[in-house]
Chains A and B, each alone.
Chain A
Amino acid sequence: MLRTQLGRQPHKGSKGATEARMQHMVVFSVGGQRLAARTEEIGGVMPWTGSTAVPSDTPFVRALVRQEKGCLPVFDLAAKFKRSLQDGEPLCLVVKHVDGPLAICIDSQVPSLHMVARSAVQYRAGNDPDIAGTCIAGEEELPIINLTTLGVSSNRPA
């Protein structure tokens, strides 16, 4: 369930050399906030079927969502960015988190796959440990979110 935008892929040079200069990114939206993430950090996208609240003290981790016979914890990315999900049927983005699979409720707009030149990716540490930097995808400058360590740096004792 990913829209591919390969039209921007450069045609010069060998395929291997080209791919070495490219970074695969997925662009998705949470409450209208567009974000980019590395494709290897994403486990899949599926319809959002609703969540079960968990009385939790962990910031932004306060629900579970069913997946097959089990369930996944939910990270409330919309709350982190102080946004509300847009109207429509939301989607569930499954993330390959360091602590195990994690679900994020995202806007109904289907995530798109982009090949971004590495020169258009700027990694830099900022105030938010969940943001790795920025990239230019589809002529938009977007924050890159660290999905695999989402919520870890800010909550885990150093």
Chain B
Amino acid sequence: MGLRGHKTAVVSSGLAVRFLVALMGPTHVAFPSHWVRGIVTPAEGGQDGHVTWANASYERTDLARRLTIQAKGVTAETRIVLYANEQRSRSFAVDKVVGLIDVERTLIQPLPAQFRGGERERLLGLFVESSYIALIANPFWVLELPSRTNVLDVFALRVSERRPGEFDSRLRLPSAALEEASAMSAGSAK
């Protein structure tokens, strides 16, 4: 099972956070991957507002609308991300899955102070890639849970704890979804 969209942004012995990067409208949005439970097609998602996958139910949320992003609408590249922690689960549509990326903690920048509105609750910060700037969605906000301070520290992995070539053992996506995400992201993620 190869995840061709996977990329390590930097090699260091420090802390890193793994993100699932997706396109929503023109915006690259990054989600801490620890809470990604799966990626399915809209057809697999069902029509009743819930997605049931691997015996778990995920309530649909219109994340693009909540983020005030104009999404493209359903295309062949649209996918439903299943996102959950121990307390709550949600599913939401993205226009395209770009891939997984490990970003060194020190390369994650906070949202500049000039942003003063509700975006400060929705977005934790950003990181700069060669071909895009990714905005980091607050995973607690995504799941409609009370936020907390130092959110990203919850998701930080010590890079040296992983063996070469080892993916995040906490990221347990349905294998079919992973293969599909790999195929989709092969052309866009480096």
Contacts and interface: CB of A to CB of B under 8 A. Distances in A.
Interface of A: 52-58, 61, 64, 66, 69-73, 75, 97, 99-100, 102, 151, 155-156
A100 B27 contact: no
Interface of B is mostly: loop
Interface residues of B, number: 22
A100 B112 contact: yes
A interface, by DSSP: helix, strand, loop or mixed?
strand
B114 A99 contact: yes
B132 A75 contact: no
Interface of B: 26-28, 67-69, 109, 112-119, 122-123, 126, 128, 132-133, 135
B64 to A, nearest CB: 9
Contact of A99 (B68, B113, B126): B113
13 contacts: A52-B133, A53-B27, A54-B119, A55-B67, A57-B118, A58-B115, A58-B116, A58-B117, A66-B128, A69-B128, A70-B109, A71-B109, A72-B112
Nearest to A52: B133
Contacts of A71: 109, 126, 128, 133
Given A56-B117, A61-B115, 13 more contacts: A52-B133, A54-B27, A57-B117, A58-B117, A58-B119, A64-B133, A66-B128, A71-B109, A71-B126, A71-B128, A99-B114, A102-B114, A156-B116
